[in-house]
Amino acid sequence: MAEENNHGNKQLDEALDCLNTTFKHKDFKTPLQRDAVLAVLKGKKDVYISMPTGSGKSLCYQLPAVMAKGKITIVVSPLIALIKDQMEHLERLKVRAESINSKMAASDRQRVWTDLQAVVPATRLLYITPEQADTTSFQNLLERLVRHSKVAYMVVDEAHCVSQWGHDFRPTYLKLGGLRRTYRQLPWVALTATASAKVMEDIFKQLSLKDPLKFRASCFRSNLFYDVRYKESLDDEYEDLKDWVVECLGPNWEDKRANGPCGIVYCRTREATEELAGQLTRRGVPTRAYHAGLKDRDRAAVQESWMDGEVPVITATVSFGMGVDKATVRFVGHWSMPQSVAGYYQESGRAGRDGLPAQCRIYYSKRVERLIGGYFRDIARKQDYRTKAMTISSLDEDQYEGGRRGRQRELDMYEETGERRSDERSGLESLVKRQLKLRRGSSPVRSDRQKKQESKEKEQAVKSSRLRAADCTERKIAGLTLKTREEYFKLLEEALSRNLNACVVAAHALAGRVPEVAIELEYNIFTSNRVVTMYRRAMALLGGHSSAERRSVADLCVQLLMPHYKAGKIASKDEFKTLARSLAHSYLQRHTTVGALEQPDLSATTPHLAGGST
């Protein structure tokens, strides 16, 4: 026991030494970071680390990687841009990190390969994408490295991507489970900023992590303060932004120090970044615009001037910020709604990385209000409503190498003018609702008498309700009242009975006119084809192979049915039309089969056509 303690102390001393000399930090950021580092260093068990953005997760594997002399730590990371940032960061610290990826020049690849094959490789960390991990060449390399005991740790960054339960599922991550099972002797480290308990369990399962040591911190960032501004309620939105910016930057912001206070305002379009930069600069806050439309050189110059403290504020599209690691970002503003919940967590998470208070604000307009309902409106009235950090994160799959539309698409994401995807919209909406509900605090205090009265009323309502399990309403779905269920039930009942009536009438009308429909259909095909094979094909297609054909047939049926519509009787004209169309569609699907029509002799079906006419 005493020996173990001594060993533990020695390891801690060595870790602190490495932290000071290589990473230039005086101490661990948090006890959790220290404990996670020590657990990884021990190398006895798999380790799972879940900490919020900016909490220093990377150090948890980078420090042990540096201390594992003569060995390589392999890091699977989802995004080449992230890999690049990590490598640049490590290069500044004089830690040799390499990558093998599809974007590399052959000469670079050879150089890395050669070092990895050396008796004592100089490479400390090797970054790869999950796609690379799935290649035979990498697997051969890994096999060789393991055989010569040259691998210290296997690290899976953004480990939530392995889970289908998570928002960011990435199928290639699943293949990592196979590697884990092949190399059971290696200690694995899985890191993520956000994972629910369900996703965490799934990560363990998919990566075959065996009873890993867990280091978890809430994704809640207590130093971030969120609020929302309603643009339409402001006299001058630019002046309001400027005032907020100056307030966030605090005193002495004009000193132009690299570690001075600074901020970012995200905009949806390039034009908005330029416009806003001009407005802020004219109002006395030097600001530069950053977007994908700038030449690489100009973009780099803008970023550099912001990093160096030359300009305190940058207005940018989302192309700015990935991997930007500036500790003193005192605010992150959004000049319009963020593109997604994931995006918002990431973008606002760039504030306050030094742990000091920082502000995050969304400026929104009516258009956005329409998008997310009354929740923000509520806050806007309070104007000064301050909230704390959001706790949801997810990454857009497009961020990843091999993502559907690739990196360029991601760079330009904010510059689209189109509507947001509906799943993102609903995700954002439910997040906002959830978070605002949390922040509004508990419901107002009610007297005992009021409470008694309420519970009596509830009991009464449950007794008289026709709904099944009426008394479970609130228990099963938090926030759902019996009254709401009753209201929806009534609507449903009405709609069902209206539709049923309309169905009966439409079906009746259609059934009586089948021959007429069939005559029309045959005639259409007869007059639009000149070759017998085409005629036969078109007739055969009627039966069900082509949904386009069926649609046009259904349209024809609808034309014939519409005269049967009687205004105001059963359903609206549109409802009747929809029903007629779907009835015709399914009728045709059932009654004209390809098999029957493809018979060489069509005479069997002819009698049903009630005498064709030409």
Nearest to residue 43, comparing CAs of 217, 212, 176? Answer: 212
Question: Quick one: 338 or 543, whose CB is closer to ligand ATP?
Answer: 338
Q: Shortest Cβ contact with ligand ATP: which residue?
A: 56
What's the start-to-end Cα distance of the chain, in Å? 101
Q: Which is nearer to ligand ATP, 352 or 543 (CB)?
A: 352
Q: Which is nearer to ligand ATP, 58 or 336 (CB)?
A: 58
Q: How far is the CB of 323 from ligand ATP (least distance, A)?
A: 8
Structure tokens at 390: 């959001």
Q: Among residues 167 and 270, whose Cβ is nearest to ligand ATP?
A: 167
Q: Which two tokens stand for residue 281?
A: 């600069």
Closest approach, Cβ 190 to ligand ATP, in A, equals 13
Contacts of residue 288, Cβ cutoff 8 Å, sequence gap at least 6: 277, 302, 305, 306, 311, 313, 314, 315
Tell me whether residue 51 or residue 521 sits nearer to ligand ATP (CB atom): 51
**Shortest Å distance, C-beta 112 to ligand ATP:** 23
Tell me the CA distances in angstroms from 277 to 40, 241, 242, 271, 329, one per residue in order.
Answer: 45, 11, 11, 10, 17
Percentage helix, strand, coil for the chain under 3-state DSSP, each rounded to 5: 55, 10, 35
As to burial, measured by CB atoms within 10 angstroms (0-12 exposed, 13-18 middle, 19+ buried), residue 456 is exposed
As measured in angstroms, the least distance from the Cβ of 474 to ligand ATP is 37
Residue (59 or 510) nearer to ligand ATP, CB: 59
In the complex with ligand ATP, the residue whose CB is nearer, 36 or 509, is 36
Question: For residue 553, which of 577, 526, 578, 518 has the smallest C-alpha distance?
Answer: 518
| C-beta atoms surrounding 321 within 10 Å | 21
Nearest approach, Cβ of residue 51 and ligand ATP (Å) = 6
DSSP-based three-state secondary structure for 544: coil
The gap from C-alpha 115 to its chain's centroid, in whole angstroms, comes to 37
Q: Are 46 and 99 in contact (CB under 8 A)?
A: no
Q: To the nearest whole angstrom, how small is the minimum distance from the Cβ of residue 23 to ligand ATP? A: 7
When the beta carbons of 79 and 272 are compared against ligand ATP, the nearer one is 79
Q: CB nearer to ligand ATP: give 29 or 45.
A: 29
Alpha-carbon gap, residue 230 to 369, rounded angstroms:
9
Measure CA 500 to chain center. Answer: 41
Residue 83: CB minimum distance to ligand ATP, A: 12
Amino acid sitting at position 287: T
Question: Closest approach of Cβ 328 to ligand ATP, in Å?
Answer: 10
Closest to ligand ATP by CB, 97 vs 372, is 97
Closest approach of ligand ATP to the CB of residue 322, in Å: 10
Rounded to the nearest whole angstrom, what is the least distance from the CB of residue 348 to ligand ATP in the complex? 12
**Which residue ranges make up the site for ligand ATP (CB under 6 A)?**
25, 28-29, 33, 51, 53-59, 193, 325, 327, 353
Instruction: Name residue 142's amino acid.
Output: L
Distance between CA 330 and CA 565 in Å, rounded?
65
> What does the buried/exposed string (b/e) look like for 127-152 if buried means 16 or more CB atoms within 10 Å of the residue's CB?
bbbbbbbbeeebeebbeebeeeebbb
**CA angle, 362 then 364 then 370, to 5°:** 130
**Encoded amino acid at 237, one letter:** E
